């Protein structure tokens, strides 16, 4: 299972949009793209997931490239509580198991 590629860290200012990129060039046609985030000493929290079309929910938006080899998690207005490690993950097959990489550490400045 190939892992995804994300920048190690990013910074943002409070109340500005944040675009977190992810590359998954070997993704197969049936793999879903998931995003989770993890605060210190807490379990990962589900953010959003999608297959081919862009997705929106109350937490974020997920933009998936037409060739599905990359995606971007969009936080529309960053808050201090959004500071966390963000994981972009492929899941596929019947298991729905997640193979984690090291994620992107997002810092939000006031």
Q: Least distance in Å: CB of 109 to other proteins?
A: 22
Under rule CB under 8 A, residue 55 binds other proteins: no
Under rule CB under 8 A, residue 86 binds other proteins: no
What is the largest distance, in Å, between two alpha-carbon atoms of the chain?
43
Q: Is 76 left (phi over 0), alpha (psi -120 to 50) or beta?
A: alpha
One of 12, 24, 44, 84 touching other proteins (CB under 8 A)? 44
Under rule CB under 8 A, residue 2 binds other proteins: no
One of 103, 104, 106, 108 touching other proteins (CB under 8 A)? 103
Under rule CB under 8 A, residue 5 binds other proteins: no
Do 106 and 86 contact (CB within 8 A), yes or no? yes
Under rule CB under 8 A, residue 10 binds other proteins: no
Instruction: Find tokens 């995804």 and name the residue.
Output: 4
Q: What distance in Å separates the CA atoms of residue 42 and residue 25, rounded to the nearest whole number?
A: 30
Residues that bind other proteins (CB under 8 A): 32, 34, 36, 41-46, 49, 51, 87, 91, 93-103
């Amino acid at each position: 299972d190939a892992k995804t590629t994300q920048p190690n860290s990013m910074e943002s200012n409070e109340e500005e949009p944040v675009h977190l990129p992810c590359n998954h060039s070997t993704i197969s046609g049936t793999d879903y793209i998931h995003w989770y985030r993890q605060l210190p000493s807490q379990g990962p929290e589900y953010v959003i997931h999608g297959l081919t079309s862009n997705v929106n929910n109350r937490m974020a938006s997920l933009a998936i490239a037409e060739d599905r080899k990359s995606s971007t998690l969009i936080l529309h207005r960053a808050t201090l509580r959004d500071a966390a490690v963000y994981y972009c993950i492929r899941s596929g097959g019947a298991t729905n198991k997640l193979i984690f990489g090291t994620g992107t550490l997002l810092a939000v400045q006031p």
